[in-house]
A and B are shown apart, each in its own frame.
Chain A
């Protein structure tokens, strides 16, 4: 157990190994570990982001679906309203047409009645005249009494 130059030899070994590890061992390994750490951190944050994205997409999908439903309901509502309106309009049109037809029929009837009455009146006048002619047989001047007879016919 003598203390001797082994001290120096061992110190040289020590310095050599420390230098070697400092240059060629520690930096690449610790760099690789650091890189991996970063990679894992990035992966985790990406997963977080994806999860958030998914959540957002789901929310958006739900909102879209809701909007679509509302729109569909609105459209159906509108269609119903329009259908009712059309039916109402058709009813109105039919009623008006009917009334118009009835009115027209009435007016035609009135016209015909009037015509018939006119004709009847003329026929009655002619009949009365011929009757009177036959009764009076010539004593009555047709021209002298014509005015009176016409007046009579108008009063009928």
Chain B
């Protein structure tokens, strides 16, 4: 085992494989030897502190690779289905895909009353992609990280504790917040598209406190702006953190069980995995439904 204690084991499992820029003159101890960087360098972080010191100029390679890979698989599967889609009698695989499509379509039609070519495929991607990312949670916690660790230690000369690898992208707040802020941008875009720039500013400045007297109206604008801006930001933050929090908590239980039971972890992990199937589906569904709801609020007139 890479870590000496349960605490270190857990910490190791919660770290991301980070590739980022370390500044000039940074003192690091990596791969078994100490060095001082003579110039700012893009490299893999060897520990949590380095990852932190990289600041914003860093990528979580594992999160991006898994989310991207899963997304590509998802797109390929749907693309294959789309090529075979006919009005005739569907076969087994097509039935499965069409069930998903119809399910998403029903959700969109129920909540979103505007006309948009974007909203349905957006919901499809969100639901399936988030579900697949969440699904990685059900793979026993050590399988893939341990394999990665062995490869890095044996072929690239890394120390075992340097090989961070997290396979559930949705336990990375960057991933979930990135998606939810994309949704927020879409909300702003749809609001401006339906109500115009003036209308968008109006929704921020003239609600929730309204007045017919112009002077009071102007006086109320700062208050309204403050409240509505917080409201606007609260949506994506809550959307992203809800998914992250649920998945992080679920992942944490798996890691705790693994740390406690070691080889016999499946005894503890199996019941939790069964329960977790519900959580991963539900969270993907919630993320999708809230996206549709936010967007439908953007296009509807009050």
Binds A, one of B64-72, B191-199, B259-267: B64-72
Q: Does A135 belong to the interface (CB within 8 Å)?
A: no
Instruction: Encode contact with A along B34-72: 1 for CB under 8 Å, 0 otherwise.
Output: 000000000000000001101111111001100110010
Q: A10-B67, A30-B101 are in contact. Are A4 and B60 (CB under 8 A)?
A: yes
Residues in B whose Cβ lies below 8 Å from that of A8? 178
Known: A5-B57, A7-B174, A36-B87. 7 other contacts (CB 8 A): A1-B173, A2-B51, A4-B55, A10-B169, A24-B79, A29-B101, A39-B87
Instruction: Encode contact with B along A30-63: 1 for CB under 8 Å, 0 otherwise.
Output: 1111011011000000000000000000000000
Residues in A whose Cβ lies below 8 Å from that of B277? none
Contact between B75 and A25, CB atoms less than 8 A apart = yes
Q: Which residues of A1-35 have CB atoms within 8 Å of chain B's CB atoms? A: 1-11, 13-18, 20-22, 24-26, 28-33, 35
Q: How far is the CB of B184 from chain A (nearest CB, A)?
A: 11
Q: Does B129 belong to the interface (CB within 8 Å)?
A: yes
Question: Which listed residue, A4, A6, A7, A32, touches B87 by the CB 8 Å rule?
Answer: A32
Residues in A whose Cβ lies below 8 Å from that of B59? 4-6, 9
Contact between A25 and B178, CB atoms less than 8 A apart = no
Residues in A whose Cβ lies below 8 Å from that of B74? 17
Q: Does B122 belong to the interface (CB within 8 Å)?
A: yes
Contact between A18 and B174, CB atoms less than 8 A apart = no
Binds A, one of B24-32, B113-121, B146-154: B113-121
Contact between B175 and A6, CB atoms less than 8 A apart = yes
Q: A1-B14, A2-B52, A5-B58 are in contact. Are A13 and B174 (CB under 8 A)?
A: no
Q: Does B181 belong to the interface (CB within 8 Å)?
A: yes
Contact between A6 and B172, CB atoms less than 8 A apart = yes
Q: A25-B82, A32-B85, A32-B87 are in contact. Are A4 and B125 (CB under 8 A)?
A: no
Q: A15-B182, A17-B75 are in contact. Are A25 and B60 (CB under 8 A)?
A: no
Determine the distance from Cα of A15 to Cα of B186 in the docked complex, in whole angstroms: 11
Residues in B whose Cβ lies below 8 Å from that of A30? 101, 105, 120
Determine the distance from Cα of A29 to Cα of B59 in the docked complex, in whole angstroms: 35
Contact between A6 and B85, CB atoms less than 8 A apart = no
Contact between A26 and B120, CB atoms less than 8 A apart = yes
Residues in B whose Cβ lies below 8 Å from that of A1? 14, 172-173
Residues in B whose Cβ lies below 8 Å from that of A35? 87
Q: Does B124 belong to the interface (CB within 8 Å)?
A: yes
Residues in A whose Cβ lies below 8 Å from that of B174? 3-4, 6-7, 10
Instruction: Encode contact with A along B150-178: 1 for CB under 8 Å, 0 otherwise.
Output: 00000000000000000001001111011
Contact between B121 and A11, CB atoms less than 8 A apart = no
Q: Does B81 belong to the interface (CB within 8 Å)?
A: yes
Residues in A whose Cβ lies below 8 Å from that of B57? 4-5
Q: Does B97 belong to the interface (CB within 8 Å)?
A: yes
**Can you name 16 A-B pairs with beta carbons within 8 Å?**
A1-B14, A1-B173, A2-B54, A4-B20, A4-B54, A4-B55, A4-B174, A5-B59, A14-B179, A17-B125, A21-B121, A22-B121, A28-B85, A29-B82, A30-B105, A33-B98
